[in-house]
Amino acid sequence: MENDYGQAYKRLYCEHWWWRSREEFLIRVIQGLCLPANPNILDLGCGDGLFFGRLAEFGGTIEGLESDPSLVSRETAERYRIHVGPLDASFAPNKRFALILMLDVLEHLPNPKESLKQAVELLEPGGRLILTVPAFRCLWTNHDDLNHHFTRFTKPSLANIAKFAKLRIDRCQYFFHWLVPLKLAVRLKEQLIQSQPKPPKIPAPIVNRSMLALSLLEQRLFGNLMLPVGTSLLAVGKRGET
């Protein structure tokens, strides 16, 4: 992630319609998991712990791991629960987790297979892992360059990584369906008019509210349907051999 984008990330997460609608979608997914009482929850790639407040609704203990120290402010109240470092053998918590989150993390990693395998090994028996990734290479835009993405995923390519990591996927679906034509239009524009990647901005309030409302409406109408396209991909799974 570029430095100026990283500095603006907290405000984007808290106010931008895309992050707000993704959070609501994820909360509903977690609510459907029937987690045990007081679960241990781990947010991998947690940044400044911005999701911790909502995760607290499920009780238990919440911890995070962030590899980029510039994304973890010294002032955050969550700092003591965030481990700063890579997801590798050096991260060795003294517990296993009922829920692990990897939200738009794998696309940033040069070796996502090994990283996902490390995450799966941190699950307790019956524990669940939720991950999201950007979908479809044909939707690549300057935003992916700005975020230092290595790739975008499809269901088959994500399944290949999950198989290596011994993650048995129970649910896999695309979301943000309505954004596909807009993303294709942006890609076409960028191909016709060369431009430098720029960090996203929060739209005007009426636009921001409208796009949030449209995304939430899509979730209510199509959230349980397995539509074949979307700009993001969700997977929910647990530890298994296949």
Going from N- to C-terminal start, the domains of the chain cover 3-239
CB 63 within 8 A of CB 45: no
Question: What is the pLDDT, as a whole number, of residue 36?
Answer: 93
Question: What is the pLDDT, as a whole number, of residue 74?
Answer: 72
Question: What is the pLDDT, as a whole number, of residue 242?
Answer: 44
CB 66 within 8 A of CB 46: yes
CATH topology for 3-239 is: Rossmann fold (3.40.50)
Question: What is the pLDDT, as a whole number, of residue 237?
Answer: 97
Instruction: Name the residue with tokens 């829920």.
Output: 99
For 138-188, how does the pLDDT look when each residue is reduced to its tens digit (9 = 90+)?
Answer: 999 999 999 999 999 999 999 999 999 999 999 999 999 999 999 999 999
For the four alpha carbons of 47, 21, 32 and 219, in that order, the dihedral sign comes to negative
CB 97 within 8 A of CB 41: yes
Q: Across residues 219-233, what is the average pLDDT?
A: 92
Question: What is the pLDDT, as a whole number, of residue 174?
Answer: 97
Check residue 31 and give left, alpha or beta (phi > 0: left; psi -120 to 50: alpha): alpha
Q: Across residues 9-36, what is the average pLDDT?
A: 95
Q: 154 in helix, strand or coil?
A: coil
Is the pTM of the predicted complex or chain greater than 0.75? yes
pLDDT tops 80 at residue 131? yes
